[in-house]
Amino acid sequence: MKDQIGAFDTIRDNFILYIKTAFGTRFPYIEDEREALLREPRVMCQEPWIEPLPVYQKSGKTISSLAEEDLSGLNEQEITDFKSLVSCGLFKDYELHAHQAEMLKKTLDCNNCIVTAGTGSGKTESFLLPLFAYLSRESSKWEAPGTPDSRVNNWWNDTQWQNSCIGDNKRIQHTYRIPQRGHEKREAAVRALIIYPMNALVEDQLTRLRKALDSDDARKWFQNDRQGNKIYFGRYNSSTPIPGHEFTKPGNPDKKRIEKLTKSLKEMDYAAKAAEKHSLETGENDAKFYFPRLDGSEMRSRWDMQDSPPDVLITNFSMLSIMLMREADEAIFEKT
């Protein structure tokens, strides 16, 4: 948007036109007086404040031009892996800001770093780039996963499978939830913790991580370069299905909670497929990253994260404090 003032004027004028049309009178002087009043600041709206974005110093380097001196501790193959992973969706081959390149170098030099910069400065990329360097290096050593259960990515829609888990007394004999990562052989643990003060920021972060770690290019990279292993991320807040234990104290499956999770995953699956269809029809490629794709790198439930903690855990302070006190979440920290 190049004309911010013009955009403000257009929105205001259109809204005033709507008011005049929907609530018009037959008295011209009342119409004129009302319009003049609506155009006064702080009656219907406030005059806009424009904050210009500064031009941040460039590093002179793109992702593809980074060398060993920029990526301390990475060998030639690890540098190649890092560049190819980052190029899957996190960062295009733009020139890095100076603070992004410096953050990457100093973090890989084992320094504890803080980046402070204004809006639009690429702070998120500043801390995700070194994180991806670490994850791409470690993931090269992971043992290849086993063969997953054929129903692992669709058990919530498989009514035949669900019915087979229910006995003649209409009670669940064994849970029909199939663990998302039950076929893996590598060690599951939280390798990075991203904490935000509010859920709105968590949602924005998830969109970026879906694009970086669950795009079609990222899926191909995991399959071809990591033997099918994925780098998992998961949001753990009040929106994450579902609270409580999967099993009751006697060890029986909790039918109501399992059914609640099943319903939630069906809704998530429907939304993801609708978004992907919209992306194909309109060419809006980013639309499909607004919802989790349940067969990818995003953890889909609390129980799955308790079984196998995500490599990148995204949460907020209040939820983290609750998790640290809750028995159900103890495994996440014990395995880490």
Rg from Cα positions in the chain = 25
- Would you say 292 and 268 are in contact if contact means Cβ atoms under 8 Å apart? yes
Rounded CA separation 333/309 (Å):
8
Determine the pLDDT at residue 1.
52
User: Is 178 in the same domain as 317?
Assistant: yes
In a domain, 50, yes or no: no
Does residue 241 lie within any of the structural domains? yes
pTM of the model: 0.85
Q: Would you say residue 45 lies in a domain?
A: no
Decide if 150 is inside a domain. Answer: no
Least confident of 39-53, 209-223, 289-303, 304-318: 39-53
Inside any domain, residue 236: yes
Domain boundaries, position 314: 155-335
Structure tokens at 209: 């991580």
Do residues 189 and 322 both lie within one domain? yes
**Torsion (CA) 138, 139, 140, 143 in degrees, nearest 10:** 120
> Average per-residue pLDDT in the chain?
93
In a domain, 144, yes or no: no
Same domain, 258 and 207: yes
30 and 100 in a single domain? The answer is no
Alpha helix stretches (DSSP H) within 157-232: 159-164, 199-213, 216-225
Residues 302 and 200 in one domain: yes
Do 124 and 267 lie in one domain? The reply is: no
Please state, as a whole number, how many other Cβ atoms lie within 10 Å of the Cβ of residue 274. Answer: 13
Q: Which of 139, 169, 202 is the last residue of a domain?
A: 139
Which is higher by pLDDT, 310 or 203? 310
Residue 106 clears pLDDT 80, i.e. is over it? yes
Do 318 and 201 share a domain, yes or no?
Answer: yes
**For residues 42 and 187, what is the distance between their CA atoms, to the nearest angstrom?**
58
Residues 117 and 159 in one domain: no
Find, among 283, 331, 279, 290, the residue nearest to 308 by Cα.
Answer: 331
Q: Which of 72, 106, 139 is the last residue of a domain?
A: 139
Residue 106 and residue 254 share a domain: no
Looking at the domain assignment, is residue 46 inside a domain? no
Burial class, 219, CB count within 10 angstroms (exposed 0-12 / middle 13-18 / buried 19+):
middle
Q: What percent of the chain has pLDDT over 70?
A: 100
pLDDT tens, position by position, 132-190:
999 999 999 999 999 999 999 999 999 999 999 988 777 888 899 999 999 999 999 99
Provide the domain count of the chain: 3
In a domain, 211, yes or no: yes
Residues 309 and 215 grouped into a single domain = yes
Average pLDDT over residues 203-220: 93
In the block, tokens 């100093």 appear at: 106
276 shares its domain with 313: yes
Supply the pLDDT for residue 189.
97
pLDDT in tens, 257-302: 999 999 999 999 999 999 999 999 998 888 899 999 999 999 999 9
Closest of 260, 247, 259, 234 to residue 323, by C-alpha? 234
